[in-house]
A and B are shown apart, each in its own frame.
Chain A
Amino acid sequence: MADKSSANAYWAANVRIILISLAVWFACSFGLGILLRPALKGIMVGGADLGFWMAQNGSIYVFIALIFVYARMMAKVDRDHGVEE
């Protein structure tokens, strides 16, 4: 780590990406899958309503995408701040 301020900037960038990712994580599973399911009964994904599908399949796909997107974004942040291995 070269200097303190660049370390802080790196960490702040990381925390920002984490917070956005966690918002997506929460919205797809707890939001669409549980809390909003009764309100969104009319929207269908094939033979299932959106909430049911998100709870049983959809949120898992989002989780996977989320981790890979996070890994890619952090790889870029690592490079930008010169802290990659």
Chain B
Amino acid sequence: MDQFTLNLIVVGITFAIYIGIAIWARAGSTAEFYAAGQGVPPVMNGMATGADWMSAASFISMAGIIALAPAGGYEQSAYLMGWTGGYVLLALLLAPYLRKFGKFTVPEFIGDRFYSGGARLVAVICLIVISVTYVIGQMRGVGVTFSRFLEVSTDTGLYIGGALVFIYAVLGGMKGITYTQVAQYVVLIIAYTVPAVFISLQLTGSFLPQLGLIGSYAPGGGEVSMLAKLDSVVTELGFKAYTSDSPNMFNMFLFTMSLMIGTAGLPHVIIRFFTVPKVADARSSAGWALVFIALLYTVAPAVGSMARLNLTTTFWPGAVQGTALSAPALSIAEIDSNPNLSWIRTWEKTKLLEMSDKNGDGLIQYFNEPKVVADAGKAVAAAKKALTEAMTAKGIAVEGVDLTSPAAVTVNGAADADLTALQTALNDANAAFTASLSEAKLGDKTLAELGFKGNELTKVDNDIMVLANPEIAALPGWVIALVAAGALAAALSTAAGLLLAISSAISHDLIKGSINPNLSEKAELMWARVAMTGAIIVATYLGLNPPGFAAQVVALAFGLAAATIFPTLMMGIFSKRINKEGAIMGMLAGLIFTAVYIFLYKGWFFIPGTNWLPDTADQYVFGISPLSIGTVGAVVNFVVAYVVSMATKAPPQHVQDLIESIRVPKGAGKAQAH
């Protein structure tokens, strides 16, 4: 059976399971649609939360982000700590109290606690911006996974994914989504850990990837640790050591904090804790969620570091026993003849890997090009482009012409002055490039002495660290098929959770909360399904036509969640003095401060070219990157809310009573529709 058929069968089986669950778990009431009838046991809710939280980015990209970071893998630990530590904040500071409050949405709590429809509306706007941003990435993830594994176009993949989410989210609401997510979690965690166990066995002899990370490098004889081996191999090739310290500890601190409080402030995560039966379950459910998330997150750094080492030793076979440069690099002939290396050509086709034998020696040298060589190379390419464009404009054929020959600049039998000038510039650039090769060193030899003309593995995409893992480890075809199903499960489960957060904000907070409070439950359930359908159509459309800034907006989503929703919820629970005025001003201050700081570097509303300051580290205020600004935005929110509240009237008695009541677990019971 070929790989394609196998992929189709495995993905088909998982889809059939999801649809079967959807039919079984149809929602009959708004309580079931919004909060799964508050009947989900904590362990199962934890599993569903894990699938909800772990997106296409966690599954496909995170290991590669850590493995291939130019500043080394350690600095990227911010993602590992940030995306898990937020659950501690949820369990301690938010989840139990919001469950006791016993209603369905985050804006509803903010509206009741701050006795203000305005506060509820600001929260709805923040929620929709955050969730829509996220959902675009998930829909793209579905499309991309389909196109890579199932040989359909990205667009077709998106339609299939959209249709599947439609079936189980519109039918089952939170109930259908939750039980589907449980199944999706099982698929994605098996898909992630099976290849990781094998690669860990091969590289460190350790069955558990978590132990492999701190184990010794088995193929080299087990004398040195895996991480020390990785450090020595990559530094030899001119990369920064994998375990090197963060170049900006302060920024790493703030980035980690932003991810933590952003996680705790994400509406689609918070609403998960409305689904459990009791307040005590909300606490332990956060723990279970983290257990299931940790199964992937503690494996990810092992996958990242081992895949990086594997990739490097594949291209430098000498590195296994000794140093990388002690033996020739991998040859193209070997890539084409060795069946264990067929994955290189497979992933080259998808453009996740790109190679170019610059010095024509039939070998692929992979190293970190020193800056002087990289810059000189870019200058050569620019000079070449200028000359060929001018030649085309003057009617000279470019194909097969030596650009440095007189023929390249001859127009009507005479040398053209403009073209000659451009050719001279090209010759100068070539000379500068040759000079840079004699200047730049790898170890104690110059590139000229080594005979290198630049890095020849010109592209290694982050995603390949997970996607190609089963093939690199020469695992059977069903594992590859499982990775496809796992990537789809990760993307679909997160998309469904986000879509539910969006649709409940629209039907419950906008339509029932603001426009027509007398809506019957049956009518509201109908509106919830209409809103879900609308949200899926919008998400599919945005997935098909992603705004150019899709990747950038994720920074905004986390920043906003950190600077608006988290501080406001926390103050609403832990302070009786923060009032309507304080909460609204605080949210707006956090929102505007965070958005403006990001826009300053990324462009106003992410329109390219409208940024006031270049997006580089030396331009950041105190070295704080736009990704990390959410922490500062949260502080701004806290301070403004406190100062404004102190200057205005304390909240009324019924709000004081509400706070008293959410602080004690007793009497939570079933949620009230209203």
Chain A residues whose CB sits within 8 angstroms of the CB of B665 once the complex forms: 78, 83-85
> Counting chain B CB atoms within 10 Å of each CB, which of A18, A21, A46, A47 scores highest?
A47
Which of A25, A46, A67, A78 lies in contact with B280, CB distance below 8 A?
A78
Which of B209-217, B479-487, B547-555 has 4 or more CB atoms under 8 Å from chain A?
B209-217
Contact status of A56 and B88, CB under 8 A, knowing A1-B666, A11-B663, A78-B280: no
Cβ–Cβ contact A47 & B294, under 8 A: no
B556 lies within 8 A of chain A by Cβ:
no
* Interface residue count on the B side (C-beta < 8 Å): 55
A43 lies within 8 A of chain B by Cβ:
no
Cβ–Cβ contact B280 & A75, under 8 A: yes
Cβ–Cβ contact A71 & B253, under 8 A: no
Q: How far is the CA of A67 from the CA of B280 in the complex (A)?
A: 12
Contact status of A29 and B226, CB under 8 A, knowing A7-B660, A57-B213, A64-B294: no
Q: How far is the CA of A21 from the CA of B352 in the complex (A)?
A: 43
Decide if the interface of chain A is mainly helix, strand, loop or mixed. helix
Which of B146-154, B282-290, B488-496 has 4 or more CB atoms under 8 Å from chain A?
B282-290
Cβ–Cβ contact A47 & B215, under 8 A: yes
Cβ–Cβ contact B280 & A71, under 8 A: yes
Which of B88, B298, B664 lies in contact with A57, CB distance below 8 A?
B298
Q: How far is the CA of A18 from the CA of B573 in the complex (A)?
A: 13
47-76 of chain A: CB within 8 A of chain B:
47-49, 52-53, 55-57, 59-61, 63-64, 66-68, 70-71, 74-75
Across the interface, name the chain A residue whose C-beta is closest to B211: A46
> Counting chain A CB atoms within 10 Å of each CB, which of B77, B210, B298 scores highest?
B77
Q: How far is the CA of A75 from the CA of B42 in the complex (A)?
A: 15
Chain B residues whose CB sits within 8 angstroms of the CB of A33 once the complex forms: 77, 81
> Counting chain B CB atoms within 10 Å of each CB, which of A25, A48, A53, A60 scores highest?
A60
Cβ–Cβ contact A47 & B225, under 8 A: yes
Cβ–Cβ contact A63 & B213, under 8 A: no
* B interface with A by C-beta (< 8 Å): 73-74, 77, 80-81, 84-85, 87-89, 91-93, 96, 210-211, 213-216, 224-228, 243, 245-246, 249, 252-253, 256-257, 278-280, 283-284, 286-287, 290-291, 294, 297-298, 301, 574, 660-661, 663-668
3 A-B pairs with the lowest CB-CB distances in the bound complex, closest first: A47-B225, A46-B214, A55-B77
Besides A34-B256, A67-B87, 17 new A-B residue pairs in contact (Cβ under 8 A), listed by A number: A1-B664, A7-B663, A10-B664, A22-B88, A46-B211, A48-B243, A52-B74, A55-B74, A56-B213, A57-B210, A57-B214, A57-B301, A59-B84, A67-B283, A71-B91, A84-B665, A85-B665
11 contacting pairs across A/B (C-beta < 8 A): A18-B92, A25-B85, A33-B81, A46-B214, A48-B213, A55-B77, A55-B81, A57-B213, A63-B88, A74-B280, A84-B666
* A interface with B by C-beta (< 8 Å): 1, 7, 10-11, 14-15, 18, 21-22, 25, 29-30, 33-35, 37-38, 45-49, 52-53, 55-57, 59-61, 63-64, 66-68, 70-71, 74-75, 78, 82-85
